[in-house]
Structures are given as C-alpha cells and as structure tokens.
C-alpha cells in the first residue's frame, strides 16, 4: 500500500494533514477552496445523525478532504451528540480496515498515531496492560475483558482482532476529545462556515428538544425494570453489572447530571465513589468516551431484568423501550436536590447565537 492509498484508508494520520496543509496554507484558504465539501459534509452529518445510510468516498483524495472538512465542521458546531454519531461511523470503518490490514508497519503507524504502544510478536501483538485497560471500555465485549487475555511481563498478548478493537476505541476517545475542545475561529472562517452549518445546528436543536420532551425527573414514572433495580440498591443488594449499566444509561438519557446519578449508588455494598464516578463518566460519554444507549425491552428481557407482568402498560406490549414507557407515564414533576430542576447534560455551543 502506497502513501496515497494509506491516507485514503486512514485519513486521520498526520501525513494526511501534511499533504493538504502546506506551509503557508491557512484554514480560510483551505475552506474557500473546498466549499463544496463543506456542504457535502453537512449533508452527510445530517444523514448520519438521522440514522440514515451514509457512505465515505472511495477516492483517496476526496476521502481525506471530506474527513478534514467534517472535523472542522464538528469542532465549529461542538454538538456532542452529532459528533458522537459521526465518530462511531468512523470508528466502525477503522475497525473493519484494521482487522483486515496485512501490513504490520501500518498497524504500528496507526498505533503510534493513537498513542497505543505495541510490539509485534509472531502473529500477535504485545500491548501494555495500562494502555489496554485505558481503551478496553466497551461493555459486554468478551474480547476486551482483561480476564480473558493472555498476559506476559506486564503486557496483553493480543490477536490482530483484539488490537483492532483497542485502536478503534483509542481513535474514538481521541477524536471526541479533539472535536469538543473550545476553539475560537477567526471572523473570516466563521463567515465561511456559519451559513453552511445552519441545517445541522438546527437538527441538533431538534434532538435536544426531543430529549427535553421526556420531561422532568419523576421516579413514579420509572418502568418496573428500573424501579426494581433502584429498590434492590436501596436494600443494599449487589445489583448486577447489566442492571447498573441500564440504570446509568437511563438516568443520563432523561437528563440527570453525573453527580445525581452517583447518589443512586450510595447503598450498594461495594460502593467506591472514585471507581463509580469513573464508570459513570465512561457510560455517559462525559469522560471523553462513547455515550451508550439505553437497552431496549428485548435486551433487558434477555438479561433477566424485565418485570413486565408488574405493570399493565408493559404487559400490553404497547411499549418496546423503557424510555417509551417513561415518556408515556411521565405526567408528574419532581425536582432534584434543594428544589432545583434537572440540569440536562446534552448542551452544545450554537455558533448562531454568538
């Protein structure tokens, strides 16, 4: 694989940027010469955000430019939900490419780019345990459980598939951190981007409104599956990992900030504040990780966490998701803490209001 082909497959590599930002090339001139790509980027982001099919260009040159332009657009609008949707698509494409990659030198190059140390050993790769744990944050993936790994001298001995998963997660974390940093764009760049991004900003606002329509926190409207988990935790029972995961995703989705979610764990026998905070940050995506979705009723049933017989709405089969149950039942109002309302966590910067 030559350099042009390589950057077309892995457009986040530094050498890809060097090929398009020569000495003296400004952000303004780059955007002015690629205005068509800005519109294409916004259209693609809108499709991805809406859950529609969207494909990346197969031409190396177009792929790199599209990648750069999209990253600029996401940094400009700084909408976490939209950034996450796009980053997940890039993350998945990267994984597919990495697990098929034939050249160890390219795997090494990608690893260096993502700050993951690796060493080739026969057909497998040595990854320091600290680096493995930092990126093995995908829940319910047996391939990324440390207990399932072969260890030697402080390293995980990983297959190429496991390495691809670790690099996939390292990419996601790095990408989300970079596009959500506060960046002040100069007026001339703002003038170029502002008219083009209005559509995707509007879609981001619609999504936040949809989330807000879930209403204020009202525990009386919680589905029986969640109510059972909370009841068990209050009794000091050792709730399963799946149950805790569901609790965090649900409470995050209805707008509770992390410190309020943490309070639900106070009676858990193995409660450790520092560890629990870390886990909550990873599940909610506020720790620069991926924002996990709330499990569906079908998934909860397969995990033994469904109690639909306890409520007629669940038993009727008219709802297929815990959030649908909550939205239907949530007619009340409950405030958090000392009379304050729920502080929703999915806020973003809107350049149109600056």
Of 298, 259, 240, 291, residue with least CA distance to 138: 291
CA distance 273 to 112: 33
What pLDDT is recorded for position 181? 86
Q: Is 55 exposed, middle or buried (0-12, 13-18, 19+ CB in 10 A)?
A: exposed
What pLDDT is recorded for position 49? 85
What pLDDT is recorded for position 166? 95
CA distance 156 to 133: 10
Of 79, 110, 80, 116, residue with least CA distance to 95: 110
Phi and psi based region of residue 81 (left: phi greater than 0; alpha: psi -120 to 50; beta: remaining): alpha
What pLDDT is recorded for position 167? 96
State CA 330 to chain mean position distance: 27
Residue 217 φ then ψ, to 5°? -60, 130
CA distances to 191, 219, 261, 302, 334 from 311, in Å:
54, 15, 25, 19, 21
**Which letter, b or e, does each residue of 125-154 get, where b requires 16 or more Cβ atoms within 10 Å of its Cβ?**
bbbbeebbeebbbbeeeeebeeeebeeeee
What one-character-per-residue DSSP string does 115-159 give?
Answer: T---EEETTEEEEEHHHHHHH---TT-GGG-GGGSEEETTEEEE-
Tell me if residue 276 falls in helix, strand or coil.
helix
Structure tokens of 179?
A: 């596009």
> Angle at the Cα of 289 (from 133 to 27), degrees rounded to 5?
120
CB atoms within 10 A of CB 188: 13
CA distance 343 to 233: 24
Residue 181 φ then ψ, to 5°? -75, 150
CA distance 354 to 352: 6
> What's the pTM?
0.69
CA distance 221 to 329: 5
Cβ atoms of 117 and 127 within 8 Å: the answer is yes
CA distance 95 to 302: 27
What pLDDT is recorded for position 346? 40
Cβ atoms of 133 and 60 within 8 Å: the answer is no
What pLDDT is recorded for position 76? 94
- pLDDT by position in tens, the chain (length 354): 788 889 899 999 987 777 777 666 789 999 999 999 999 999 999 998 887 888 999 898 899 999 999 999 999 998 887 888 899 899 999 999 999 999 999 999 999 999 999 999 988 999 999 999 888 876 557 888 888 899 999 999 999 999 999 999 999 889 988 998 888 999 999 999 999 999 899 888 887 776 666 666 788 889 999 999 999 988 888 888 899 999 999 998 888 888 888 888 877 777 788 888 888 888 888 765 677 889 999 999 999 999 999 999 999 988 899 998 998 887 544 433 333 444 434 444 444 444
């Amino acid at each position: 694989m030559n350099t042009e082909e390589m950057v077309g497959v892995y457009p986040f590599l530094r050498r890809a940027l060097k090929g398009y930002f020569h000495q003296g090339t400004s952000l303004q001139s780059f955007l002015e010469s690629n205005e068509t790509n800005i519109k294409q980027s916004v259209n693609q982001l809108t499709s991805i955000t809406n859950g529609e099919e969207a494909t990346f260009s197969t031409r190396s040159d177009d792929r790199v430019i599209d990648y750069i332009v999209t990253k600029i657009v996401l940094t400009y609008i700084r909408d976490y939900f939209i950034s996450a949707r796009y980053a997940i698509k890039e993350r998945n494409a990267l994984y597919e490419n990495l697990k098929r990659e034939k050249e160890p030198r390219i795997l090494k190059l990608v690893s260096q780019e993502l700050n993951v140390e690796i060493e080739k050993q026969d057909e497998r790769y040595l990854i320091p345990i600290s680096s493995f744990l930092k990126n093995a944050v995908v829940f319910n993936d047996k391939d990324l459980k440390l207990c399932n790994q072969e260890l030697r001298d402080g390293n995980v001995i990983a297959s190429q598939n496991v390495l691809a998963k670790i690099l996939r997660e390292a990419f996601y974390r790095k990408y989300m951190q970079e596009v959500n940093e506060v960046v002040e764009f100069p007026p001339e760049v703002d003038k170029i981007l502002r008219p083009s991004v209005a559509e995707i900003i509007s879609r981001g606002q619609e999504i936040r409104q949809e989330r807000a329509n879930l209403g204020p926190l009202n525990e009386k409207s919680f589905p029986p599956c969640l109510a059972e988990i909370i009841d068990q935790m209050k009794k000091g029972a050792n709730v399963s990992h799946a149950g805790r995961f569901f609790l965090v995703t649900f409470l995050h989705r209805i707008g509770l900030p992390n410190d309020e979610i943490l309070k639900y764990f106070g009676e858990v026998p193995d409660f450790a504040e520092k560890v629990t905070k870390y886990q909550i940050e990873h599940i909610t995506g506020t720790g620069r990780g991926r924002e996990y979705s709330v499990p569906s009723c079908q998934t909860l049933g397969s995990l033994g966490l469904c109690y639909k017989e306890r409520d007629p709405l669940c038993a009727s089969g008219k709802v297929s998701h815990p959030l649908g149950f909550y939205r239907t039942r949530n007619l009340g109002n409950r405030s958090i803490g000392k009379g304050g309302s729920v502080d929703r966590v999915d806020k973003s910067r809107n350049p149109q209001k600056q």
